[in-house]
Structure formats: structure tokens, C-alpha cells
Amino acid sequence: MSVAATARRRKRVNPLQRAERRQAIGFISPALLGLAVFTVLPVGLAIVMSVYDWPIFGEREFIGLGNYAELLSKSPDFWPSLRNSFLFALGYVPLNLVISLGLALMLSARIRGRAIFRVLFFIPVVTPMVANAMVWRLMLQPAGPLNGISEAMFGITLPNFLVDKNWAMISIIVMSVWAGMGYNMLIFTAALEQVPASVIEAAELDGAHGFTMLWRIVLPMISPSVFFASVMTIISALQVFTQPQLLTNGGPGTSTVPLVMFIYNTGFKFHDLGLAAAAAWLLFAIIISLTAVQFRAQSRWVHYEH
């Protein structure tokens, strides 16, 4: 740009506007600086790390796509951990959505103590997941209350939930639904309160009630919220870590090690940060593509008001 052009441009900006721009830079710089250091830099670094053999301490070595190749073809734990993450999501997401929607529907009726129940179902969402997991570890012990009650009342000995290979993942899913579904319940509650009374009344006049009302009227009306909730719930399911770490520690064997635990173990137990970074990229790619697929499919079932 020539000096003359710059000068002309300057002229069009009055001093007040120039002051506002200067101050905007001041207001924005803490956030931009922080984001550069703590998000942009790590993202860039993650790309570099994923093509290096990068131990926590010691010499680093460029190995091209070696880490990715190792994950996809050699690492004995990567595919199982991916499978475990998907198994978890497959159980967790539908259960979470169905139960939270069911509760939101029941709580939308004019019943006593609605506010109290809403807060109750929401509490585990905001308490430390570590503490929630401890509570459930006690519940699910062989000598714990669940099995104790079953034995005392029915004479039936329940399986050892946290170490039985058929039950460990189910236990993690159930516990996670308990801890997480209050969030979606609130999203759905808010959506249900926005459904206009006139629509419900009109449908009533046409003879709709119960299941027909739910399927034909209510669900389409709140479909944007259902869409939002399912996208967010799938993302959070693929990030599961704390619950299996504390309930089963990935066991029995590696049957409940999800992808994030694989990343954590690879990086901080086996000190292979490069391999962990590569696995993290694969996780990111999976999350982004699943989300993209959902956005493309939404026109089939999500109705937005125009």
C-alpha cells in the first residue's frame, strides 16, 4: 500500500474511532494472548509432536507418520480402546437421552415438588465426578448394599459388577447416566416450556394425546434441543475417562479402557507423548466427523421454526 493511500485511509477514520480501535486492542489482548499461548500453541505443538518420537524426558526424533502407523497397525491397545469408547457411547447416549427426556416430560406436568426433583436430578452433574464414582464404587462392591439387599431379600447373589467382564462396562454406563443425565433433562425441560399452548390445544382438538402427541407434536417441536443434546452427549461420551479410571481402572484386563485413558496411559505411564498426541488427533478426527455427519443428517428430522 502506498503512503498516499494509507494517508487517505487514515483521513476517513476520525480521531474518536481511532481511539476506540486502540482501546479495543487493549480490551481484547488478554484473551487473544491467552488463547494464543494456551490453545493455538498446544494445537500446533500437538501436530508437531504427533510426527515425533517424543518421550517425556530425553531425545526427540522425527519419525514422520510412524506414530499413526503404530497406532493403526501395531499398538495392541489402540483398537480395543476405540472399541470400548464406542461401546460406552452406544450404551450411554441413548440411555441418557431417553431417561432425561422421559423425566423432563413427566416433570412438565403440573406435579408437586417439580422444582425439588429438577434440582435433585441435576446435583450429580455439578459434583466432582471423582466423588460420584466413589459413591458408586461402594454401592457396587460385592459386600456393598446392592448385593447385600439382593441377598437378604431375595437370596440372589449378584455378579461382582466392577470386575466381571460382562458387567464392568454396563456398570460404568449406568453410573455415568446417573451422573450426567440431569444436564439434558434441564435442556429438554426448557425446550418443553417453549412449546406454545395453542399448538397443544389444537392437537388436542384433533384428538391427539399420549404417545401420538409425543411422537407427532411434542418431539418435532423440541427437535432442535434433542439435536443439540445428542451432539453434545456423543461428544462427551467419547471423552469419558474419570468413571472407568476410578470404577474399574480399565479392567478386567483392558475391557473398560476408553480412548482417553489410552491417551493418558500412553503419555504419562509409558512416557510416549508423541504416540499419545497422535492418538489424541485421531480422537479429535472421530469427534469432528461424527459431529459433521450429525449436522448433515439433521435436515431429515430437526425442525426449526422460521
Partner 1 sequence: MSTDAGRVEDTRDVLSLGRPGTILAWVSVVVAGVLFASPLIYAFFSALKPANEVLATPPSLIGSEVRWSNFLEVFTYAPFGTYILNSFLVSIAGVCTVLVVSTTAGYAFGRLRWPGRDIVFVLFLGTLMVPQEVLVIPMFVVMQWFGWVNTFPSLVFPWAFTAFGTFLMRQFFRGIPWELEEAARVDGAGPVRTFLQVILPLAGSAIAVLAVFTFINYWNSYLWPLITVNDYKALGTLPIGLASFSNQTGTRWDLLMAASMISILPTTLLVILLQRHLIKGIATSGLGGR
Binding mask 73-112 for partner 1 (x = CB under 8 A): ------------------------------x-xxxxxxxx
- 152 forms part of the interface with partner 1 (CB under 8 A): yes
The set of cell numbers assigned to 108 is 412438565
* Minimum distance of partner 1 from residue 235's CB (angstroms): 7
Q: Which stretch binds partner 1 (CB under 8 A): 65-73, 90-98, 228-236, 296-304?
A: 228-236
Residue selected from 223, 239, 294, 298 as contacting partner 1 according to rule CB under 8 A: 239
Residue selected from 2, 25, 76, 306 as contacting partner 1 according to rule CB under 8 A: 25
Alpha carbons 189 and 149: distance in angstroms, whole number: 34
Measured torsion, CA atoms of residues 249, 255, 259, 262, in degrees rounded to the nearest 10: 60
Sign of CA dihedral 190, 192, 193, 195: positive
Q: Which residue, 189, 188, 185, is CA-closest to 223? A: 188
Residue selected from 204, 216, 269, 295 as contacting partner 1 according to rule CB under 8 A: 204
Nearer to partner 1, 91 or 267 (CB): 267
- 277 forms part of the interface with partner 1 (CB under 8 A): yes
- 288 forms part of the interface with partner 1 (CB under 8 A): yes
- 27 forms part of the interface with partner 1 (CB under 8 A): yes
- 286 forms part of the interface with partner 1 (CB under 8 A): no
* Number of amino acids touching partner 1 (CB under 8 A): 109
Binding mask 109-148 for partner 1 (x = CB under 8 A): xxxx--x-xxxxxxxxxxxxxxxx-xxxxxx-x-xxx--x
Angle CA 88–237–250, to nearest 5: 50
Residue selected from 41, 65, 90, 297 as contacting partner 1 according to rule CB under 8 A: 41
* Minimum distance of partner 1 from residue 156's CB (angstroms): 13
Around Cβ 171, how many Cβ atoms within 10 Å?
A: 23
The angle, 0 to 180 degrees and rounded to 10, between the axes of the packed helices 41-50 and 273-301 is 110
Pick out residues in 251-270 that bind partner 1 (CB under 8 A).
260, 263-264, 267-268
Alpha carbons 299 and 7: distance in angstroms, whole number: 50
